[in-house]
Amino acid sequence: MDTSGFFISFEGVEGAGKSTQARLLAEELRARRLQVLETREPGGTPLGEKLRSLVKHFGEPGGVSPEAEVLLVCACRAQLMRDVILPFLASGGVVICDRFADSTTVYQGFGRSLDLATIDCLHALATRGRWPDLTILLDLDSRAGLERAAGRHGIPDRTDRFETESPAFHEVIRQGFLRVAAANPGRFRVIPADLPVPEVHRRIMAEVLHALA
C-alpha cells in the first residue's frame, strides 16, 4: 500500500501533555488546509478501544501479565494500522497519533523487562514496517507528570494500572524514552514539556513545518 502521507507520533511519560499538544497541532495543520487524522494508542478502532479498557483498567497492577499486555497493545496497533492509519496515509493525509510503537518498547520492554528482540518482531508484524516520519517526545520529570495526571481527575485514577505504578517505574519509563530518542535521532525531536503550553506548541510547530517542508 502506498503511504505517501505524513505520520507524526507523540510520546512521553504520563501527564506530559501529549493529548493537548496533539490536538493543538491538528488544529493548526487543519487551519493550513491539510487533511489531518487524530488517533491514539492503544485504541483508535472499535476493537482497539475495547482492548484499551482491558490494558489500562483490568484488575490490579499485576492483574495482566507482561506477556499478555504486550500482545494486547500490539493487537490494538495491528487493527489501527490496517483500518485507519495506512488508508489515511495512502490518501496523502497527515496522521497524528497519541503514542505508537515506541511506547511498547519503553513500557513493556524497559518497564516490564520483556525481551526487546521479541518486541521488535511484534512491531514488524503490527506496524507493517510503517513507522512515524516524525516523533515528538515531550520530556518531563516523571514525578511532575504523575502529579499532572492526577490533576486531570482531581485525584489519582486508582483504576489506571499504569498511573498507579511506582515512581521508580515511571522514572524507568522516562529514561527509556530518552534512550529510544537518542538511538533514533533522525525521527525524534525532544521538547521540554515543563514549558508553558503555547511555547511547547510553538516548538512543535517549528519542527513539524520543517519536516513537512
> Which residues form the domain of 102?
6-212
Total length of the chain: 213
CA distances, 107 to each of 28, 67, 86 (Å): 30, 12, 24
Cell numbers 510503517 correspond to 130
- Contact by Cβ (8 Å): 16, 138: yes
- Look at residue 150 in the predicted model and tell me its pLDDT: 84
Cα gap 86→80, rounded to integer Å: 8
* CATH number (domain holding residue 81): 3.40.50.300
Helices (H) and strands (E) in the chain, counts: 9, 5
For range 21-43, the mean pLDDT:
98
- What is the rounded average pLDDT of the residues 69-93? 98
Chain centre to alpha carbon of residue 77 = 11
pLDDT at residue 76 tops 70: yes
Is 159 contained in some domain? yes
Query: Amino acid identity, residue 87?
Result: P
- Please tell me the pTM assigned to this model: 0.94
Handedness of CA 154, 158, 161, 167 (dihedral sign): positive
DSSP code per residue over 28-45: HHHHTT--EEEEESS-SS
Do the domain assignments include residue 136? Answer: yes
Confidence of residue 61 (pLDDT cuts 50, 70, 90): low
Helix axes 167-183, 142-153, angle to 10 degrees: 120
pLDDT at 153 over 60: no
1 belongs to a structural domain: no
Calculate what percentage of the chain has a pLDDT beyond 70.
95
Structural domain includes residue 13: yes
Q: What is the pLDDT of residue 98?
A: 98
What percentage of the chain carries pLDDT values higher than 90? Answer: 86
End-to-end CA distance of the chain: 23
**pLDDT recorded at residue 1:** 45
pLDDT at 123: 98
Contact in structure between 61 and 161 (CB atoms under 8 Å): yes
Give the mean model confidence (pLDDT) for residues 35-60: 94
In total, how many domains does the chain have?
1
The region of weakest confidence among 108-112, 151-155, 162-166, 167-171 is: 151-155
Indicate whether 167 pLDDT > 70. Answer: yes
Name residue, grid cell 484488575: 59
202: in domain: yes
Q: How many CB atoms lie within 10 A of CB 49?
A: 13
